[in-house]
Amino acid sequence: MKTMTVALVLAAAAFGAAGCNKDKAKTAKTVPTDPDPGTAVADTKPAPSVDKDEQVSPSLAISPDILAACGIKAMKSANPTFDTDKDELTPDDRAVLDQVATCLTTGPLKGKTLSLIGRADPRGTEEYNLGLGSRRASSVSQYLARLGVGAPQLAVTTRGALDAQGSDESGWQKDRRVDLQLQGTVPTADATN
């Protein structure tokens, strides 16, 4: 009888633990970034402050520290927008990314890491918006990779519409972008040991 009671208690504990783990799996959304520049992951940690990021092209907002280090000037007529449901870069986006790539490969930010944070407006499901933000950040990452920026220098994430603030078309345009944020120095092989 005592063995049967112990077995029932252990079975109940295992069942309860399995149920708790299942619930945790549903609510856990923070995923470590993948260094592959073609792959973005959802990042639901508190986002870095982007309120001072400057719109430099139709689809890109860059933090002030990158702008200062690389000498990038914002476009006066930038409409901060990817087209709805699109992830293609405009010629203006590519012109800015050319400057960023030079800065990361041979300029003042050589050896530094950038976060590429894909964003979407709030229309659509959470899953769709996370995917769209991921595709947008991956477009930027792939373009920078073609210009010689190494995968370890690019941390690709998506916030989807988690931080979206727009409530109409003009506001939604500002939500459809990729933010470039300076992270720090690329880890070396010695630092990982």
Six token digits for residue 24 = 């945790």
Residue 12 half-sphere exposure, CB side, CA atoms within 13 Å?
A: 6
pLDDT tens, position by position, 81-109: 688 999 999 888 998 999 999 999 999 99
Q: Is the pTM of this model over 0.85?
A: no
Per-domain boundaries in the chain: 1-29, 31-192
Q: What ranges in 35-168 are assigned the alpha helix state H?
A: 64-70, 91-105, 126-146
pLDDT at res. 138:
95
Orientation angle between helical segments 126-146 and 91-105, nearest 10 degrees: 60
* Nearest Cα residue to 176 out of 54, 63, 80, 66: 80
CATH of 31-192, one of 3.40.50.300, 3.30.1330.60, 3.40.228.10, 3.40.830.10: 3.30.1330.60
pLDDT tens, position by position, 111-151: 999 999 999 999 999 999 999 999 999 999 999 999 999 98
- Backbone φ and ψ for 17, nearest 5 degrees, come out as -65, -40
pLDDT at res. 137:
95
pLDDT at res. 76:
54
Q: Report the alpha-carbon angle 182-90-52, nearest 5.
A: 35
pLDDT tens, position by position, 65-78: 999 999 987 665 44
Output the DSSP codes for 107-126: STTTTEEEEEEEE--S-S-H
**Residue scoring higher pLDDT (60 or 149):** 149
Six token digits for residue 73 = 């000037």
